[in-house]
Amino acid sequence: MEQTKTVWRWVRRVLVVAFCAAHLTFMVTNALPADMRREIIDAAANKDEKKADSGQTQAWETVQSYIDISRGYERLTSTPQSWGMFAPNVGDESDSPCLVIFYVNGVQEILYSPCQPRLINIEPTFNFLLKFGELEQRKKADPHVMDVTWPLHLGDARIRKIESYVTKMSDQYGANGPRTAYVRWRLIDHLRRNPARQGQVSMVRLFCASYQHAEVNGNPGYGRAYLERVRLLAEYRPALDPMWPKNLPAEPKP
């Protein structure tokens, strides 16, 4: 009995030591910056090239297998180790999605992001679309600026995150799905809050407004973020969306 206990104690110790060593090794491997990992793989590949004549070309495969295993462990334990918060640069620009709703009577309505601070010096008749297509047009005296001076701003950090994804995502992997979902969500919310506008929507366009933070001699400036440029991200028509709720009329009946 005592012998079994001793054996079990040793087995447990070995398991714990193996787990701790593997976990720490994988943690460090996965936390390495991508560039550093690329250098390691390149170094292994170079080593293989040098040894190609002698038939020893295993370094690259070994490194590759190890990285695959460490990635697999990360996926299994759901412990991703990417810690590049605000790195390598913070950036001097903010991207914010804007919806422009086109109504059948010709009226246009802009829905700014719920995470975006209020805009100042915007006249009610300001045509947001005039900015569309213009690049690098900011002037220092441009009145269309975002006021970044406010006593307290409490927004939804998760929605900000998804908006960041919606505006920055590449189109490589069928990017329009999340954008459609975002536009649909905003439009449904807007129409439910404004029943009079139900059945009046003609089309919706999703724009990305980029705001450059004010700068003074290349350094961050004070209190203003300038509307830098506007990009069209997606067009949306509720009638063509199979997911649109049947009980919420958006477009006029034919």
Partner 1 sequence: MSGLWRMFRDFWAKPVAPEPMAAFRIAIALILIFDLCCTLLPNLESYFGPLGVFEPGDARAWQENAALNKDAALPGIPQSIEQIPKTRWSFIGPDTPMSTIYVMAGALLICALCLLTGTLTRVATVGAWLILTSLHQRNPNLTNAGDVLLRISLFYLMLMPAGAAWSVDNIFRRKLGWKIRDTVAPWSMRLAQFQIAAVYFFSGVEKNAPLGGWLQARMQGSENPPYIGDWNNGLAIPWALRDALITRVDWFVWIPVEILYPFTLITLMWELTFPLLLLFAITRRWALAIGYAVHMGIFLTMEVNHFSFTTMAFYALFVPAAIWMDIAGRRTGEMSGEIEKPGPFADPAAIAAAKAQKQLGRTRFYRVFYDSLCPVCRRSVLWLRRLDWLGVLKFEDLHDREAAEAALPGVSYADQLKRLYVLRPDGQYFGGFAAVRAMAAVMPLLWPVLPLMWLPGAGWVGHKIYDVIATNRFRYAKCDDEMCSLHLKLVAGKQINDEVIAQVIALADKRKKAAIAKA
Restricted to residues 70-99, the positions that interact with partner 1 (CB under 8 A) are: 71-72, 75-92, 94, 96
Distance CA 180, CA 206 (A): 9
The residue range among 103-111, 123-131, 168-176, 198-206 that interacts with partner 1, by the rule CB under 8 A, is 168-176
Binds partner 1 by CB under 8 A, chosen from 60, 73, 103, 126: 60
Shortest distance, position 30 Cβ to partner 1, whole Å = 9
Site membership for partner 1, residue 245 (CB under 8 A): yes
Q: Which is nearer to partner 1, 158 or 253 (CB)?
A: 158
Q: Which residue has the tokens 């719920």?
A: 114
Size of the site for partner 1 (CB under 8 A): 89
Shortest distance, position 189 Cβ to partner 1, whole Å = 8
Distance CA 249, CA 201 (A): 9
Name which of residues 114 to 133 contact partner 1 (CB under 8 A). 115-117
Name which of residues 140 to 159 contact partner 1 (CB under 8 A). 146, 148-159
Binds partner 1 by CB under 8 A, chosen from 9, 220, 232, 252: 220
Shortest distance, position 105 Cβ to partner 1, whole Å = 26
Name which of residues 174 to 213 contact partner 1 (CB under 8 A). 174, 177-178, 180-182, 184-185, 188, 211, 213
Site membership for partner 1, residue 55 (CB under 8 A): no
